[in-house]
Amino acid sequence: MSLPADAAASGHWGPPYLLYLGNPADELAIKTARGVAYWRPEWCVGQYRHPDCKTTLGLPDMGMAEARAHGADTMLIGTANAGGTMAAEIVADAIAALDAGLNVAAGLHQKLRSHPDIVAAARRNGRALFDARDPAPGIPVGNGRPRAGRRLLTVGTDCSVGKMYTTLALERAMRRRGCAADFRATGQTGIFIANAGAPVDAVVADFISGAVEWISPARDDGGWDLIEGQGSLFHPSYAGVSLGLLHGAQPDALVLCHEPTRRHVRGLPGYPIPDPKACLEANLAAARLTNPAVRAVGVALNTSGMPEAEAVALCRRIGDELGLPCEDPVRMGVESIVDKLLACFAN
């Protein structure tokens, strides 16, 4: 996923970060910045917002030059939108950051290196550009052959329901218990957090399953690869990437992620959120193509829009209905899901 040598000036990029918010449409639009700030707070110097921006990460507001003076190395464009396009203000702000001495990284589908003025600014300042949604060359076609090791995949009733957060929470909880467990990133935010991974929604469709096989190769240490899910089998726009993940991961275990306050899938009011049980059954059926022994081990709810007592009661009810541990990874942790996982695969 490295930047081609002719795209911008050579050099390294990375934390400490100035997280770019700009003026996002809603809270979900800054999920990349929020994810990095939550999981890697030690990497974040401050946030850059337009004067009319209503959202915040709670970090110090800084201009580009001020952030550079406070030790920031890279401005990370932490916004996302449908289609991953780069608006005119983002282009202007990226150029300003480069002129202030910062490197620039982004996770948009439209690449930094595709804009000649951004490339020119990087070259004249000796700064680096990084596009997280830039698949590595040579990704193979998936082959579906069984490989050593254990794998867990998070799946969802919709996109942006907490699959990355759940996967990272599982990694942290398992490592605290002394288990070998590794987060495998498949989206731009996860790639920034892990400094590795494959942006599967930017991979040509025929190679999606191969990309997942590539980031989660055979392992013989008894540990787990915890693979970040994307999209949803029930989302008309993004079901394709979800299916490719299911086949390439060859998961031994699935965790279903769900946001109970949503009434329709993101961006498409005509498509209601699926029933969690039906969604889980559909994912298990699809996963059986490459791992007939796959099983569900838990449900992760995003209850951020609910009072705590109501959230606890809902987790209990859904857990009882599905016969699985059910928790909010942020509010409650994932210990009961880890208990279930380790009990199911004790031998």
Which backbone phi and psi does 41 adopt, to 5 degrees?
-60, -30
Domains held by the chain: number: 2
Residue numbers of the domain that contains 174: 150-344
My answer on whether 174 and 83 are in the same domain is no
Let me know if residue 183 belongs to a domain: yes
Residues found in the chain:
347
pLDDT of 284: 98
pLDDT of 82: 62
My answer on whether 93 and 162 are in the same domain is no
Of 97, 131, 165, the position where a domain reaches its end is 131
pLDDT of 2: 36
Bridge partners of 150, per DSSP, are 224
My answer on whether 157 and 287 are in the same domain is yes
My answer on whether 125 and 165 are in the same domain is no
CB atoms within 10 A of CB 320: 10
DSSP of 257-302: EE-TT-SB-TT-TTSBPPPHHHHHHHHHHHHTTT-TT-EEEEEEE-
Strand ranges (E), the chain? 17-22, 44-49, 74-77, 103-106, 129-131, 150-156, 181-184, 224-227, 253-258, 295-301, 326-327
Bridge partners of 22, per DSSP, are 49
Let me know if residue 281 belongs to a domain: yes
Let me know if residue 145 belongs to a domain: no
My answer on whether 182 and 311 are in the same domain is yes
Asked if 185 and 194 touch (Cβ cutoff 8 Å), the reply is: yes
Of 131, 160, 178, the position where a domain reaches its end is 131
> Which residues 6+ apart lie within 8 Å of 163 measured at CB?
154, 155, 156, 228, 229, 230, 257
* Domain containing residue 37: CATH number: 3.40.50.720
My answer on whether 156 and 256 are in the same domain is yes
Tokens of 281: 């059954």
My answer on whether 207 and 123 are in the same domain is no
Let me know if residue 5 belongs to a domain: no
Q: Give, as one character, the DSSP assignment of residue 61.
A: B
Closest CA to 159 of 249, 101, 245, 88: 245
Task: Quote the Cα angle for 215-220-224, to 5°.
Answer: 55
My answer on whether 75 and 209 are in the same domain is no
Let me know if residue 66 belongs to a domain: yes
Asked if 23 and 53 touch (Cβ cutoff 8 Å), the reply is: yes
Spatial separation of the C-alpha atoms in residues 338 and 151, rounded to whole Å:
13
Lay out the sheet containing 44-49: strands in order across.
44-49, 17-22, 74-77, 103-106, 129-131
pLDDT of 23: 83
My answer on whether 286 and 159 are in the same domain is yes
Asked if 201 and 243 touch (Cβ cutoff 8 Å), the reply is: no
My answer on whether 65 and 161 are in the same domain is no
Let me know if residue 325 belongs to a domain: yes
Let me know if residue 12 belongs to a domain: no
Spatial separation of the C-alpha atoms in residues 166 and 58, rounded to whole Å:
22
> Which residues 6+ apart lie within 8 Å of 32 measured at CB?
76, 77, 78, 79, 80, 107, 188, 189, 192
My answer on whether 154 and 30 are in the same domain is no
Of 131, 163, 185, the position where a domain reaches its end is 131
SS3 assignment, position 47: strand
pLDDT of 3: 34
Q: How far apart are the first and last CA of the chain?
A: 37
Spatial separation of the C-alpha atoms in residues 107 and 115, rounded to whole Å:
15
Phi-psi category of residue 37: left, alpha or beta, with phi > 0 → left and psi -120 to 50 → alpha: alpha
* Domain containing residue 222: CATH number: 3.40.50.300
- Angle, helices 208-215 vs 239-249, to 10°: value is 40
Closest CA to 167 of 32, 339, 39, 17: 39
Q: Mind listing the pLDDT tens digit of every residue in the chain (347 residues)?
A: 333 333 344 458 889 999 999 887 677 788 899 999 999 999 999 999 999 888 999 999 999 999 999 999 999 998 876 667 788 899 999 999 999 999 999 988 889 999 999 999 999 999 999 999 888 889 999 999 999 999 999 999 999 999 999 999 999 999 999 999 999 999 999 999 998 999 998 999 999 999 999 999 999 999 999 999 999 999 999 999 999 999 999 999 999 999 999 999 988 999 999 999 999 999 999 999 999 999 999 999 999 999 999 999 999 999 999 999 999 999 999 999 999 999 999 87
My answer on whether 158 and 273 are in the same domain is yes
Torsion over CA: 62, 68, 72, 73 (sign): positive
Let me know if residue 307 belongs to a domain: yes
